[in-house]
Structure 1
């Protein structure tokens, strides 16, 4: 089964990652795109839909590569139309909007998958398995880049320096919870363009996250080390693999999930959970 996917958005991420991912498959085919700038949408080499409703008429699933508030508005409409959802992180800017997406997907019985790209690297699941089995005590993670700096390829209007929490926070929080269990935010502060968050995990571990998308000269990647009962464990570079390898795994997972009628672990409800952590950190700020 090949899932026919319509793409919403034609910005840098849509044209460099999500669109090529869907077009290459396996298990997916990019059949149409809709964006506010038709000339940008045309770069993807597939039919450009004249409206969001027209896009829905072409596909089995909808992928989003747009700002969180736009996704929050359109994803429930796609779910109500019976379309499976490949969703960007964060789901929205508020918990309420994230919950609305989840409720719409549940009501419609559609498959959902959240674009937590690092989950599909080889390094992250290997690190998570090792840490969980070693008795995690303290974890330190960071995602420090320059994507919001003027002139950056990814400097879109919503991705301002202070947006690091919502932009790269989901990657870091997802990794920390996967490795050390459910967490609560106990402290958050912003110093210039850097946001620091401390979390306490249900199993007793403590973790810290350092987030920035406006640090000159920094380009990530996601980094993490854990101090465990068995010693120090360091995350390998999730970006060491070719992007096409990650894209293939994401497409294959989504295609298999739709074919099997069952969402993967990184689904809309995982997105809601991360949204609650983001909201707690924002409140602490």
Structure 2
């Protein structure tokens, strides 16, 4: 599979480009970005071709890996799908339900493979743990806390310069991660209630289709000393906790690329496809409505 990279920012430079250059079974064919000079630098560093013309890149590859803000991802994903390119997407797929739906519909209409890269969902220990808990069932309630410090005092995060994160906050940045872990175990959400906490912190309560409930605590402004992630489930099987992350996003992205290759080869949709990405956006949009109007929102 010939794959191109859309994006040249820190996430593309630190994670996507190295993985695409190293991954067996694919050819890292080229890089396109909104800054041509950055495309040139990133492509040359990994033996790929820089493209100034996006349509030419799409014509030359079988798939694209998108490492761009969600404010622009949807339009480019639809454009790539119309060029019959399989899609490796970043989360969230988009910042509005109509935009996310356009991506999912384009993937379905053109019969393409798609994978949304939720980093922990593709973790080496986390993937089998999620599958095991989903098979176990009988869960009464769950919680998932994602407390980051991207915008905390003294932060040196390279993502602190991200305008969309500053605008949309933790709900849209780390909220997708938490949902990507809870939904496959507890089932789809049917109702969400959201309340604000300190700074950008948001607390969600979900009611799931099977009757279970869950809570989420999401922040990008937690003090560094209070940061971290966790997930806990309680049910007839007892109390279990998600294994701690022991690796960075590079290994996880390799697994996401493997998932895209399998889906393209077999024609079978991956559980983290564009349709699942749309569902995550629908729930997040419901949480926004709950914050604005107060009270629970059906999703």
- TM-score w.r.t. the length of structure 1 is 0.92
Tell me what 2:146 maps to: 143
Counterpart CA distance in 2 for 1:27 and 1:59 is 14
Structure 1: runs of 5 or more not aligned: none
Tell me what 2:42 maps to: 43
Tell me what 1:152 maps to: 157
Tell me what 2:205 maps to: 198
Shift of 1:130: 4.2
| 1:228 aligned onto 2:235 | yes
Deviating 4+ runs (over 6 angstroms): none
Tell me what 2:79 maps to: 77
Tell me what 1:165 maps to: 171
Structure 2 residue matching 1:90: 3-state secondary structure: coil
Tell me what 2:295 maps to: none
Tell me what 2:92 maps to: 90
Answer yes or no: is the 8 Å Cα contact 1:56–1:78 preserved in 2: yes
Tell me what 1:187 maps to: 193
Counterpart CA distance in 2 for 1:215 and 1:87 is 27
Shift of 1:27: 2.5
1:16–1:219: structure 2 CA closer, same or farther, 3 Å change rule?
Answer: farther
- Offset from partner CA, 1:59-85 (integer Å, 9 cap, x none): 111111111120111111111111111
Answer yes or no: is the 8 Å Cα contact 2:119–2:249 preserved in 1: no
Counterpart CA distance in 1 for 2:166 and 2:137 is 38
Structure 2 residue matching 1:158: 3-state secondary structure: helix
Structure 1 residue matching 2:163: 3-state secondary structure: coil
Please provide the CA RMSD for this pair: 1.9
Map residues 112-131 of structure 1 onto 2, 5 A cutoff: 112-131=114-133
Answer yes or no: is the 8 Å Cα contact 2:59–2:83 preserved in 1: no
Tell me what 1:4 maps to: 2
Shift of 1:101: 0.8
Shift of 1:162: 4.4
| 1:245 aligned onto 2:251 | yes
Counterpart CA distance in 1 for 2:111 and 2:226 is 39
Shift of 1:184: 2.6
Tell me what 2:278 maps to: 272
Q: More deviation in 110-119 or 143-152?
A: 143-152
- Offset from partner CA, 1:118-163 (integer Å, 9 cap, x none): 1221332343344341511121111111224554112222111742
Structure 2: runs of 5 or more not aligned: 292-299
Structure 2 residue matching 1:160: 3-state secondary structure: helix
Structure 2 residue matching 1:14: 3-state secondary structure: helix
Shift of 1:28: 2.2
Tell me what 1:212 maps to: 219
Shift of 1:58: 2.3
Counterpart CA distance in 1 for 2:112 and 2:177 is 24
Q: More deviation in 162-171 or 148-157?
A: 148-157
Answer yes or no: is the 8 Å Cα contact 2:117–2:253 preserved in 1: no
- TM-score w.r.t. the length of structure 2 is 0.88
Shift of 1:173: 1.0
Counterpart CA distance in 2 for 1:74 and 1:106 is 16
Aligned residues: 282
